[in-house]
Amino acid sequence: MTTEKDHRHGHRERLRQRLLKAGRQAFADYELLELLLTYAIPRKDTKPIAKKLLSQFGSFAAVFDQPRERLSEIEGVGPQTCTFLFAIREFMVRYLEQEVEYAKAISSPEDIVEFVRTHLGLAPRECLMILYLNDANRLAYHNTITEGTVDRAPFYPREIPEWQREK
């Protein structure tokens, strides 16, 4: 007769092995989040926490878009787990920044939206970002010029030459 404890024994290792063999496609969102949480919560069943996070915030991506304060409202998510999830998000953003900045030409408005969303997606206020492209349409320089309020980021066209000189 299999007990609940017997069934859970080795579960984390089975998740890790499945990831290594089949990649993320072999997982439901809650399973992938469950596996990730095992690194922040070493001695607790992380499946209910993963399911609660997804239920509360709606999607895998939305979990990572939450501020730490909102994450900590979920039972079982303490300061260490909040920091871990925040760090994972920051690692993902850095990866995406470098992928866009160094690898690919910006050839459409969608590419610009992707880049800006990666950099400013969670900003609590509207921001104005300036992008300079080289002759190959690769990003040569970018900077957040001004931060405004929750619904606008004012700027004056006369200031644009100043921004170029600052570069």
Amino acid identity at 59: S
Nearest to 145 by CA among 121, 117, 120, 124: 120
Half-sphere CA count of 130, side-chain side, radius 13 A: 16
31 close to 15: Cβ distance less than 8 angstroms: yes
Domain regions of the chain by residue span: 1-103, 105-167
Residue 26: DSSP 8-state: G
List, for residues 120-158, the tens digit of each pLDDT value.
Answer: 777 778 888 888 888 888 888 888 888 888 888 888 888
CA 142/CA 90 separation, integer angstroms: 18
List, for residues 14-55, the tens digit of each pLDDT value.
Answer: 999 999 998 988 999 999 999 999 999 988 999 999 999 999
CA 143/CA 153 separation, integer angstroms: 14
105-167: CATH homologous superfamily? Cytidine Deaminase, domain 2 (3.40.140.10)
* 5 pLDDT above the threshold of 60: no
CA 96/CA 4 separation, integer angstroms: 41
36 close to 53: Cβ distance less than 8 angstroms: no
How many CB atoms neighbour CB 124 within 10 A?
9
Q: Tokens for 36?
A: 């990730």
Domains 1-103 and 105-167 share a fold: no
1-103: CATH homologous superfamily? 5' to 3' exonuclease, C-terminal subdomain (1.10.150.20)
List, for residues 91-109, the tens digit of each pLDDT value.
Answer: 988 887 777 665 577 888 8
Angle between helices 11-22 and 29-38 (to 10 degrees): 120
| DSSP three-state, residue 129 | strand
Helix (H) or strand (E) holding 127: strand 127-133
